Amino acid sequence: MMGSRQETQGALFYEFSIEAHVPPDHMLRSVDPFVDLAGIRQHLAPFYSPPDGHLSVRN
């Protein structure tokens, strides 16, 4: 494609704040202190590639 792009870089990214989208009186805020998600990364680790790249591109 020739010519300059019309989109600005800002159009490619967006900001999302969960704090701005969950009202202060929402039930999730009262449950949050009792839910421990500390081990979720270890539980889901088999579904993600290693930090140094995808297995398919390793030598």
pLDDT value for 23: 93
Q: Mapping DSSP to helix (H, G, I), strand (E, B) and coil, where does residue 21 land?
A: helix
Instruction: Domain ranges for the chain, please list them.
Output: 17-50
Per-residue pLDDT tens digits for 1-58: 566 666 666 677 778 888 899 999 999 899 988 999 889 988 988 888 777 766 654 4
The maximal CA–CA distance of the chain, rounded, in angstroms, is 55
Entry pTM: 0.40
